[in-house]
Amino acid sequence: MADSTTAGAGEQVTPSTGRAAAHARAVAALAASYRAIPADAPVRLAKKTSNLFRARARTDAPGLDVSGLTGVISVDPEARTADVQGMCTYEDLVDATLPHGLAPLVVPQLKTITLGGAVTGLGIESTSFRNGLPHESVLEMDILTGSGEIVTARPEGEHSDLFHGFPNSYGTLGYATRLRISLEEVDPAVALRHLRFHDLDELVATIGRIVDTGEHDGVEVDYLDGVVFSATESYLTLGTKSPLTGPTSDYTGMDIYYRSLQHDGPAPRTDLLTTHDYLWRWDTDWFWCSRAFGTQNRWVRRFWPRRLRRSAFYWKLIALDHRFDVADRLEARKGRPPRERVVQDIEVPLGRTAEFLHWFLREVPIEPVWLCPVRSHDQWPLYPLRPGETYVNVGFWSSVPRDPADPGATNRLIETEVTRLDGHKSLYSDAFYSEDEFWRLYGGETYADLKRHYDPGSRLLDLYSKAVRRK
């Protein structure tokens, strides 16, 4: 039971009731800020950080006040649920749940991703082969809709259409102010086995067997992802919940996590991380993207402050690059053309994954790439993965030389191939679909119905304008 303190005659105030009252005030401030925005002005969240890679039009219009919506309202260890504000980061959410031996069902890889952002914009991680995507752990959510009304959406009932249509809507139907999510039990540590593969078809077949059985070589698998360095060098990492029975590795210092996967020989390489460090194993180096900033050079890394080895700081460097075209200026000084940014996550069915990987490694000069299997458990019309079918997320985040005559050529090539293989791609980055093709892939008339119902005045951008036209 939560500790309580006496506030007055016969009145008991617990920390959770105090947070609930603060939450109510924050929601009122958000609603007031929404009403204050002129009807013809764009609606934006007034926040300093973003995990979106697509550019958007700049505006001086005031944003929505979400300053009071950044925390955890309560954790119920017995019910294994948490009530969480929409702008709460997963870093803060995990800090609140781990002391109870609990964690969200899916914890995206970067600390600054917010719960509301992961639900409306999708997220994925190594538990997704068991637990689906982050929105599949949501029990109910309060949403400030485009009409200015705050509604509570649940899987059944009056607003069940919004509940199922909210994932992948990217704030175009409204903004989540509170989400109640399921949690799962975790152990103090995660024991890792890194399996090397010399053949991509064998790797994909192994993914399928693990997803179907939940084990490998007789050992339960609780976490599953992988990295492809080339057609002849790839790895699956199998994680198993574990007691803290020995020394653990630390990849926040000089050692780099993704390099620890690599080894020769048929025997798996093993490792042990605390659950906290496992959940954030990718954040220190933003997977392998920190190498673009020199931080994987041992001499640079030695003097790069540890507190700045995290994705939140790398985002600031990316923002500066976007603002001042630093990378393209450096390329020009070397006599090279500007670069085309190719930062994408896609999902293709398991049976087409090896085909996509072989194609990608031939056509796109980017390595490594990340793999993460996912199996959805329900219908989500704006991102229609077939329930019960295994897909594999492929993540690739870099750039290639830009074709001056076609600045988005490589991204368009990837979109065409993903569609051919019956897949989808996430919309957090650049997209180049025609409007007809986009709506065939991302909700079509279902989205139009939701828009008419929950944003009849079109106060919020529609999904195509936001994802493709980048308004």
pLDDT at 459 over 90: yes
More confident residue, 388 or 43: 388
342: containing domain: 325-432
Query: Residue 319 domain-assigned?
Result: no
CATH number at residue 71: 3.30.465.10
More confident residue, 138 or 335: 138
Say if residues 34 and 148 touch (Cβ distance below 8 Å): yes
Q: In b/e form, how buried is each residue of 187-213, taking b as 16+ CB within 10 angstroms?
A: eebbbbbbbbbeebeebbebbeebbee
Compute the distance between CA of residue 136 and CA of residue 388 in angstroms, rounded to an integer.
13
Q: What is the pLDDT of residue 41?
A: 86
Confidence of residue 1 (pLDDT cuts 50, 70, 90): very low
CA-to-CA dists, residue 168 to 205, 230, 371, angstroms: 29, 31, 20
Query: Residue 266 domain-assigned?
Result: no
pLDDT at 57 over 60: no
Say if residues 272 and 246 touch (Cβ distance below 8 Å): yes
Query: Residue 401 domain-assigned?
Result: yes
Instruction: Copy the structure tokens of residue 252.
Output: 């926040």
- Cβ burial of 221 (10 Å; 0-12, 13-18, 19+) is buried
Compute the distance between CA of residue 271 and CA of residue 291 in angstroms, rounded to an integer.
23
Tell me which residue of 90, 77, 85, 98 sits closest to 20, measured CA to CA: 85
Flag the least confident range among 97-106, 112-121, 292-301, 335-344. Answer: 335-344
> What amino acid is encoded at 370 in this protein?
W
Flag the least confident range among 62-66, 192-196, 369-373. Answer: 62-66
Query: Residue 289 domain-assigned?
Result: no
Query: Residue 444 domain-assigned?
Result: no
* Backbone φ, ψ for residue 315 (5° rounding): -60, -40
Q: What is the pLDDT of residues 384-437, one digit of tens each?
A: 999 999 999 999 999 999 998 898 999 999 999 999 999 999 999 999 999 999
Query: Residue 256 domain-assigned?
Result: no
Torsion sign across C-alpha atoms 217, 219, 222, 225: negative
* Sheet containing strand 223-230, strands side by side: 269-274, 189-197, 233-242, 223-230, 369-375, 390-401, 339-349, 424-425
- What mean pLDDT comes out for the span 208-227? 98
Confidence of residue 11 (pLDDT cuts 50, 70, 90): very low
Compute the distance between CA of residue 69 and CA of residue 112 in angstroms, rounded to an integer.
14
- What mean pLDDT comes out for the span 180-185? 98
More confident residue, 469 or 195: 195
Query: Residue 448 domain-assigned?
Result: no
Cβ atoms < 10 Å from Cβ of 410: 22
**Residue 136 CB-half CA count within 13 A:** 24
pLDDT at 22 over 80: yes
Query: Residue 224 domain-assigned?
Result: no
Q: What is the pLDDT of residues 256-288, one digit of tens each?
A: 999 999 999 889 999 999 999 999 999 999 999
Compute the distance between CA of residue 38 and CA of residue 175 in angstroms, rounded to an integer.
18
Confidence of residue 13 (pLDDT cuts 50, 70, 90): very low
Q: How many domains is the chain built from?
A: 2
Q: What is the pLDDT of residue 4?
A: 34
Q: What is the pLDDT of residue 53?
A: 57
Cα dihedral 153→155→159→161 (10° resolution): 120
pTM above 0.95, yes or no: no
Say if residues 290 and 304 touch (Cβ distance below 8 Å): no
> Average pLDDT, whole number, for the chain?
91
CATH number at residue 364: 3.30.70.2520
Among 132, 166, 185, the domain-final residue is 185
Tell me which residue of 292, 240, 233 sits closest to 259, measured CA to CA: 233
pLDDT at 50 over 70: no
> What amino acid is encoded at 87 in this protein?
M
Q: What are the counts of helices (DSSP H) followed by strands (DSSP E) for the chain? A: 16, 18
- Cβ burial of 101 (10 Å; 0-12, 13-18, 19+) is middle
Compute the distance between CA of residue 101 and CA of residue 85 in angstroms, rounded to an integer.
21
Contacts of residue 281, defined as CB under 8 A and 6 or more positions apart, other chains included, come to 251, 257, 273
Torsion sign across C-alpha atoms 183, 188, 189, 190: negative
